[in-house]
Structure 1
Amino acid sequence: MAKKFFSVFLICLLVCVMVSEHSVQGLMVTSDKANKDYIKWVDFDITYEALEDAMNVDIETYEQDLHVSWVDILAFLACKYGGDFSMYSHKDIDWFVETLNEGSSVEDITSNMKSYPYYYKAYCAVIGNFLGLDKDGNYGLTAYSPVAEGYWYTDSDDFGNGRSYGFARKHLGHDMFCSVGTPVAAVEGGKVEALGWNQYGGWRIGIRSNDGFRYYYYAHLRKDSPYIKDLKEGDTVKAGQIIGYSGQSGYSVKENVNNINVPHLHFGMQLVFDESQKECNSEIWIDTYALIRLLSKHRASPEIKETAKTAAATAQVPILMYHGLTKKQSQVNDYFIPATTFESDMKYLKENGYTAITMTELIDYVYDKTGKIALPEKPVIITFDDGYCNNYNYATPALEKYGMKAVLSVIGHACEEASVADHRAEDYCNVTWDQIKEMSDSGLWEIQNHTWDSHEAKGGRKGASKKEWESEDVYEKILKEDLSILQKKLKETTGVYPNTFTWPFGAYTEDSRDLLKSMGFKATLSCNGGINTIEKGDTEGLYLLKRKLRTPKASIAELLQ
């Protein structure tokens, strides 16, 4: 009996050892977001014909009055076909575009399609960053084929086929058969998260896209010299940059062994809607066969024009400043803009390659001493002051739709009053503590400090600034007491102490910097106009950051210049 038990134990142990790199790590990963409402699975089975036709419409309408997004088109088609793109007909795209041109909105067309939000989010995660402006200002594909220009390859739709090395499993990638030494290009820009030997993939590279939704896996690279010179984990790479060379390494516990019979590049794309999905037993790997056919239209130069490098030492970071959003034209002014304008701004940022970051991400970049923390190629910070509930009602859906995130600086006492009020004016009321928690938990919002009760101009004081005749000691005592109340309340509500203080009215007192530092504020936001030049290591440069006020008078393009 003991002998039989021991045999069973050995078999179980062997199975555990032979699980793939991703699955083994997944068994050890736990998530504190287990109940969060994020997408758990995606079947990306859009045909090449549907992808190409939708992409062409997007490109052709880019400079027209009505720009039709290919993500909108494909999400509509998925709903119409119940996800079965074998039913695809170009006539359905024609009808969709014609209906939009006749005055209907995407919301009108899809109002009865319950699955539309799911398909839209799923397809945004896959292809949302594949189109944009190139360095010459031309709109089209900005993602690249993994195989460089001028090199032969052949492939087939082999996703899901069986594999037997180590243990029986499905092939969660796409094999591109090519000669040993074929240059491999980064499909998108991003950060190198994995580099080195894996017994299944051999020499491999794992790159996370700048927006975090996609993890690209390049495997079976060349023996002896799989990567470009000096490539290492933590490096940032650009779309189309040569990162390595195809080969036939892998299927060996021992490093640098060629046990793959036919040279090829194994290319995989994993979707990550929540960090708990990155390494687990329910990872989302999609069939990229049709995507690879599409990307074959855009192949990178095999010349290595720029090697991978540590994160750039400087970055230009525009910070946009919003206050209120409204759906009533009578309320529009310099501080309350139409909700539709904000959504258009988010669409513009998405289509022009901007990635929204939080203040914490900016602070981490500046304080980084390893040289590995990078900012996206085109970072932008979206800020809202005061904490109106219209931010919650109108900005949140637009942020989610276009994959953006924002920083909300709240006035504590106004949120307290809103939380206990019997009746609230939807456009002018402030968010409640429950709404603040919901916003923070969503990952779309970062909550910062805009004083507890110092957002007025009276008695010789403007906002939280020092009165002209006030002593330093008295002023600092008042300021510290006010900010501390909100710091404590936001820690109780969100679980995090704010690290940024937003000066009301932009009225600041320079001598208060040491006090703010002692309270844990690593940055402050002003109302001074301009674009910020951020330098790694320059922690003082995080104080009194410049912002551009979004009014109805200027375009979003002008504000970003």
Structure 2
Amino acid sequence: MNRKYKKLTLLMVIVLMIGVLSYNFINGRKAKSHSEKTTKQQVSNTKETSTTKNKNETAQNNEKDREFKDGILKYNDKSVPVIMYHSIDYEAGNELRVPKEKFREQMKYLKDNGYTTLTLGELYNFMSNNKPVPEKSVVLTFDDGYKDNYENAYPVLKEFGFKATVFIITNCIDKDKGFLTSAQLKEMQHNGIDIESHTLNHDKLNELPYDKQLETLKGSKEFLEKLLNKKVKYIGYPYGKCNNDTVKAAKDAGYVMAFTTESGWSNKNQGIYTLNRVYISANHDMKEFERRISNLNYNVSTTTSSKKKVKGQ
């Protein structure tokens, strides 16, 4: 009897141990599976965070100003040619549309002759803080934001490693097929082409009261800042038109530098909110292009010297 009891007890102990081991095994696999899933999710989240961080860092690096120390430098008692383009395409009789072949020839000339293309941040620091820039510096700007800026100009700018700025009419984004899309703007901003404001609707600012000027200047700025996740600090006035209210509105909206279409190289004495630019059209051959970017006084015989100083600068 005792022997049977002992065997029965032993059998029960064995069954109990098997049950405990099975339970631990099953739960261990579940815990391991959950742990692996958690680890994978954590790794995935880390990768996503890292990717987002890297994109943001890349965008920030694109906006960082370079320190120019080598070669012949100049300071802000000198001037810089800020080239103004519009469309890079061909249309018979439309001088605003520079054919892409002509545009590439002009960019190749800049590259072959040792020109440095400045960002607007670098130009601002040159003008306002007297940070030196290379003697042969130039700024490339495009007004309005036509889709051919992406299709025709952007590949050439990338080919030569050039910096540039597009002043975009924000209410045309994703609405007018002739203008740049949100996706194109984001790509360009991420790759060294700065996107800045050209107002909401290409407004003639000097014909608007102060409050309407402020509205369009702030509206376009805020739209681009939200779209591109960056600060928008520069404005190209549509038609180059501005008055004293425009300068005040630009300041109040948060811009730090602005451009007209007044012909000539940019100089701090013009006022940081009314800087000149060098217009390049389809009618200009290479000889004229070279003259305009190499000769500070290229426009003396064709423009008056009676430019009215805008107050508040």
TM-score grouping bracket, smaller chain normalisation: 0.5 to 0.7
Per the alignment, residue 558 of structure 1 pairs with 291
Q: 1:393 and 1:515, CA in 2 relative to 1: closer, same or farther beyond 3 A?
A: same
The amino acid across from 1:337 in the alignment is V
Per the alignment, residue 170 of structure 2 pairs with 412
CA distance in 2, matches of 1:393, 1:405: 16
Indicate conservation of the 8 Å contact 1:440/1:446, yes or no.
yes
The amino acid across from 1:319 in the alignment is V
Per the alignment, residue 542 of structure 1 pairs with 272
Residue 502 of structure 1: how far off its partner (Å): 1.1
Indicate conservation of the 8 Å contact 2:205/2:246, yes or no.
no
Q: 1:338 and 1:235, CA in 2 relative to 1: closer, same or farther beyond 3 A?
A: closer
Per the alignment, residue 82 of structure 2 pairs with 319
The amino acid across from 1:411 in the alignment is I
CA distance in 1, matches of 2:257, 2:68: 26
Looking at CA atoms only, which structure, 1 or 2, has the larger radius of gyration? 2
Tell me which protein shows more strand as a share of its residues: 1
Please provide the CA RMSD for this pair: 2.6
Per the alignment, residue 125 of structure 2 pairs with 364
**Equivalent of residue 54 in structure 2, options 32, 48, 69:** 32
CA distance in 2, matches of 1:34, 1:448: 18
Alignment of 1:258-273 (within 5 A): none
Q: 1:395 and 1:375, CA in 2 relative to 1: closer, same or farther beyond 3 A?
A: same
In structure 2, the gaps of 5 or more residues are 1-52, 59-64, 296-313
Per the alignment, residue 351 of structure 1 pairs with 112
Residue 522 of structure 1: how far off its partner (Å): 1.2
Indicate conservation of the 8 Å contact 1:525/1:543, yes or no.
yes
CA distance in 2, matches of 1:431, 1:499: 20
**Equivalent of residue 236 in structure 1, options 56, 69, 76:** 69
The amino acid across from 2:195 in the alignment is I
Secondary structure of the 2:282 match is coil
- Larger relative contact order, structure 1 or 2 (CA cutoff 8 Å, min sep 6): 2
CA distance in 1, matches of 2:222, 2:266: 30
Tell me which protein shows more helix as a share of its residues: 2
Indicate conservation of the 8 Å contact 1:339/1:394, yes or no.
yes
Secondary structure of the 1:364 match is helix
Indicate conservation of the 8 Å contact 2:197/2:234, yes or no.
yes
TM-score w.r.t. length of structure 2: 0.68
The amino acid across from 2:292 in the alignment is L
Is residue 2:150 matched to residue 1:389? no
CA distance in 2, matches of 1:415, 1:354: 32
Per the alignment, residue 379 of structure 1 pairs with 137
In structure 1, the gaps of 5 or more residues are 1-30, 37-210, 213-233, 240-308, 419-423, 456-462, 468-474
Residue 236 of structure 1: how far off its partner (Å): 2.6
Secondary structure of the 2:267 match is strand
Alignment of 1:129-528 (within 5 A): 236-238=69-71, 312-326=75-89, 328=90, 330-331=91-92, 333-368=94-129, 373-418=131-176, 424=177, 429-443=178-192, 445-455=193-203, 463-466=204-207, 475-528=209-262
Q: What's the CA shift string for 1:215-259, capped at 9, x where partnerless?
A: xxxxxxxxxxxxxxxxxxx783427xxxxxxxxxxxxxxxxxxxx
Q: What's the CA shift string for 1:159-193, capped at 9, x where partnerless?
A: xxxxxxxxxxxxxxxxxxxxxxxxxxxxxxxxxxx
Residue 316 of structure 1: how far off its partner (Å): 1.9
Equivalenced residues, count = 234
Q: 1:334 and 1:503, CA in 2 relative to 1: closer, same or farther beyond 3 A?
A: same
Indicate conservation of the 8 Å contact 1:501/1:525, yes or no.
yes
The amino acid across from 2:79 in the alignment is Q
Residue 313 of structure 1: how far off its partner (Å): 4.2
TM-score w.r.t. length of structure 1: 0.39
Q: What's the CA shift string for 1:480-499, capped at 9, x where partnerless?
A: 11222211110111122321
Indicate conservation of the 8 Å contact 2:170/2:201, yes or no.
yes
In percent, how many aligned pairs have the same letter?
A: 27
Q: What's the CA shift string for 1:101-134, capped at 9, x where partnerless?
A: xxxxxxxxxxxxxxxxxxxxxxxxxxxxxxxxxx
CA distance in 2, matches of 1:365, 1:35: 24
CA distance in 1, matches of 2:222, 2:255: 13
CA distance in 2, matches of 1:35, 1:395: 25
CA distance in 1, matches of 2:57, 2:218: 32
CA distance in 1, matches of 2:136, 2:185: 28
